[in-house]
Amino acid sequence: MSLTKEEIKKIAELARLELNDVEISKYQNQLGSVLDYIDMLKEADCSDLDILGLDLEDNFNRTREDQSVNWPEDEIKIALEQVNEKENGQVKVNRVM
C-alpha cells in the first residue's frame, strides 16, 4: 500500500507538522511499507471477543475532586521561564480568533 503525496500532506496538516518535499516522498514509502506490514492483522481472528482491549479487571476509573491545588511558587516560576512570549505572568500567544 502506498500513500499519495496528497494523503501525506493531509496527514501532516492534521498532525501540525511542516514537511519539505524530500520528507514527503520519504514518508510516502516508509509509511506505506509499515501499513503493509500492519495489514497482517486482518488475518487475526477475534470473532470470539465481546470486549475490545478494555481491561476492566484492574483498570477502572478513579476519580478525584475537581479542585484547584496550590502549586509551589518555585515550580510555577520555572514553568513560566520556559514560555516563549509572556506578559504579566501569562503566556502570550498569537491571535486565534
C-alpha cell at 91: 503566556
Q: Does 76 bind other proteins (CB under 8 A)?
A: yes
Query: Residue 37 carries which side chain, given as an amino acid letter?
Result: Y
Q: Does 22 bind other proteins (CB under 8 A)?
A: no
Q: Does 1 bind other proteins (CB under 8 A)?
A: no
Residues 28, 21: Cα–Cα separation, whole Å: 11
Q: Does 28 bind other proteins (CB under 8 A)?
A: no
Helix or strand (DSSP H, E) at 14: helix 5-14
Number of residues that bind other proteins (CB under 8 A): 54
List 86's β-bridge partners, or say none.
Answer: 91
Residues 49, 52: Cα–Cα separation, whole Å: 7
Q: Does 64 bind other proteins (CB under 8 A)?
A: yes
Which residues lie near other proteins (CB under 8 A)? Answer: 3, 8, 11-19, 23, 26-27, 30-31, 33-35, 37-42, 44, 46, 49, 51-55, 58-59, 62, 64, 72, 75-79, 81-85, 91-96
